[in-house]
Amino acid sequence: MTAAEPADAAQRPPLVVVLCRVGLLYEALSPALAGIADVRRLPSDAGDTAGLLRWIRPDAIVVDSQEEADEAMTFAREAKAPLIQVRLRERKLLVLRNGGWEEPENGNASAEAIRNIVLGGLFGRDQ
């Protein structure tokens, strides 16, 4: 199973799933991606996140906990979907790249920084 099929991509905006404990993360992100992606919040800690993601098949995933990041990693690898971990307590972002977590340049924990990474993962030409 892969994330977005090419035919789907032409018909609908990319789906970005935000798995978060901190609801304000979604409130911050949603307007930043408005008009570019369909952003949906899913409850964190609801169990079987990996299974849920396989059914929903988002194009990108944003999480705010290590546990959800671990759960989402399997799907993100399978589907080659961008996965961003927002560590609010540590005030930093991590991006899943080449099987490991990397801290992006200028990765301050802002909605715009997350938007840029999501869009880079979705539309970037070096992907």
Partner 1 sequence: MRRTRILIADSLPIFRSGVRNLLARESDFEVVESSTFDELVREVATDCPDIALVDLELPPRGGVTAVSYLAERCSAHTIVWSFEPSRETVLRAIRAGASGYLHKEISPPGLVRSLRGVVRGEAPLARDLASLMIEALHGLEERDRARERASVLSAREREVLELVAQGARNKQVAAALEISEFTVKRHMQNILQKLGLPSRRAAAAFYRSAYEPEEVLAAAVETA
Would you say 119 and 110 are in contact if contact means Cβ atoms under 8 Å apart?
no
Q: What is the footprint of partner 1 within residues 30-89 (CB under 8 A)?
A: 30-32, 86, 88-89
Q: Which stretch binds partner 1 (CB under 8 A): 1-9, 49-57, 68-76, 107-115?
A: 107-115
* Min separation Cβ 32 and partner 1, Å: 8
In angstroms, the Cα distances linking 81 to 9, 22, 72, 89, 120 are: 13, 22, 10, 25, 11
| Among positions 13, 40, 54, 109, the unique one binding partner 1 when judged by CB under 8 A | 109
Q: How far is it, in rounded angstroms, from Cα 79 to Cα 50?
A: 12
Question: What is the radius of gyration, based on Cα positions, of the chain?
Answer: 13
Q: Find the binding residues for partner 1 in span 1-20 (CB under 8 A).
A: none
What is the binding site for partner 1 (CB under 8 A)?
Answer: 21-28, 30-32, 86, 88-89, 91, 108-112
